[in-house]
Amino acid sequence: MRNATRFMPFQLVYGLEVVLPIQYEISSLKLAIDMLLENSEEEAHFLEVIHLDETRHDAALAREAHKKRVKAQYDKNVKPRVFSEGDLILIYDQDSDKLGVGKFKPLWMGPYIVKWILTKGAYKLVDYDGIPLSQPRNRLYLKCYYA
């Protein structure tokens, strides 16, 4: 059972790949090489540590590559919300999104008008009377108002 990093969990924790008993009966090149080499215990331990570090490094690289693939797949379907000055928008009411508030209470307030576009996805908003809101709002909590 290999995961996205192409390594087995046992191998990542203990540094060795699991060898089944049947693999001892069938001679393999890896087992033959391990049996032929006459190393001291210190040398064997040192080589095992080096191999473990390489395995962990390979696993980290594979994990990063997997994260990049997942992000690219996610980003294909996500379209950032961009508003321009004068757009009518609704604001997500975070105060109403608590457990037990009531299922019939609306979660979106508005409509409001975009007055200024600030940096990093923030917008300064005003209501229909021209009264500005006290704080700018992030675009994550805004959506278009279609009347």
pLDDT in tens, 99-114: 656 677 778 888 999 9
Could you tell me the residue range of the domain that residue 61 belongs to? 9-77
Shared domain for 92 and 71, answered yes or no, is: no
- Provide φ and ψ at 114, rounded to 5°: -75, 120
Residue 83 lies in a domain: no
Domain closes at, from 77, 112, 133: 77
Across the range 138-142, mean pLDDT stands at: 87
Q: Which of 77, 112, 128 is the last residue of a domain?
A: 77
- pLDDT tens-digit map of 37-60: 566 676 677 677 777 778 888 888
Q: Is position 99 within any domain?
A: yes
Predicted TM-score (pTM) of the model is 0.47
| Residue keyed to tokens 């409509």 | 111
pLDDT of residue 125: 93
Tens digit of each residue's pLDDT (9 = 90 or more) over 50-94:
777 788 888 889 999 999 999 999 888 888 788 888 999 998 877
Residue 35 to residue 31: CA distance in whole angstroms:
6
What is the tally of structural domains in the chain?
2
The reply to whether 18 and 53 lie within a common domain is yes
CA distances from 56 to 31, 43, 53, 63, 66 (A): 22, 20, 5, 10, 15
Residues 130 and 92 in one domain: yes
Cα atoms in the Cβ-side hemisphere of radius 13 Å centred on 72: 6
Strand partners, 45: none
Exposure letters 50-67 (e unless 16+ CB within 10 A, then b): eeeeebeeebeeebeeee
